[in-house]
Amino acid sequence: GAVVSQHPSRVICKSGTSVKIECRSLDFQATTMFWYRQFPKQSLMLMATSNEGSKATYEQGVEKDKFLINHASLTLSTLTVTSAHPEDSSFYICSALSGRGYNEQFFGPGTRLTVL
Amino acid sequence: KQEVTQIPAALSVPEGENLVLNCSFTDSAIYNLQWFRQDPGKGLTSLLLIQSSQREQTSGRLNASLDKSSGRSTLYIAASQPGDSATYLCAVSGENFVFGPGTRLSVLP
């Protein structure tokens, strides 16, 4: 099956710094990738839809200037949390649409961000 | 290593039927279990979240149950409608976040 990787798997940073998370589709091209986050004891929620070569579409309540998404190639999307604060500490997961068959979605293993 | 399975892989029912989707997981050490809906080409929509201490959650025509000891969850959809047609995924959150493969539901008018 298709594989999606995320890097890093865990990151701890100081408040005010920026953190970049990479999402790669390893054996297929993905024109569309999604970014999700899950706060402790809460649901995994869609943050944004990332389309290769165009601007990301953000869900209501997600600050696009704080969560910068770049989908520069068909196999890579990046999420940069700018000026991170402790309330940004969360579990971030990406997924990629395969574009095959029923447009199956494949998920990365996730990145746990802790902002001190 | 946590493994999540879903049965059936696909389901086609006439409008109005009540139906049950099943989710099984191998490691009962979970924080919570979630059910999602995926429409073609779209991101996941969260439907229900059940914490590990809970037995069930309800939202409208949806009811999800959790039996952590047996590693099972069910999603019950009452009075199904064509608009319910989508892929339904369950996911468990523990040491890792693991998705099931999904059940593709078609509700025929």
A30 and A97 in contact (C-beta within 8 Å)? Answer: yes
- Closest chain B C-alpha to A29 CA, distance in angstroms: 14
**pLDDT at A90 exceeding the cut of 80:** yes
CA dist B90 and B58 (Å) reads: 15
- Closest chain B C-alpha to A16 CA, distance in angstroms: 27
- Residue A8 phi/psi, 5° resolution? -85, 170
pLDDT digits (tens, 9 = 90+) for A39-86: 888 888 999 999 888 889 999 999 999 999 999 899 999 999 999 999
CA dist B49 and A43 (Å) reads: 6
pLDDT digits (tens, 9 = 90+) for B50-92: 999 999 999 999 999 999 999 999 999 999 999 999 999 999 9
CA dist A46 and A59 (Å) reads: 7
Tokens of A48: 């944004």
Which DSSP symbol is given to A59?
A: P
For residue B48, the SS3 value is strand
Q: Which positions in chain B have a beta carbon within 8 angstroms of at least one beta carbon in chain A?
A: 31-32, 34, 36, 38, 40-46, 49, 51, 87, 91, 93, 96-97, 99, 104
CA dist B87 and B99 (Å) reads: 13
pLDDT confidence of A31, banded at 50, 70, 90?
A: confident
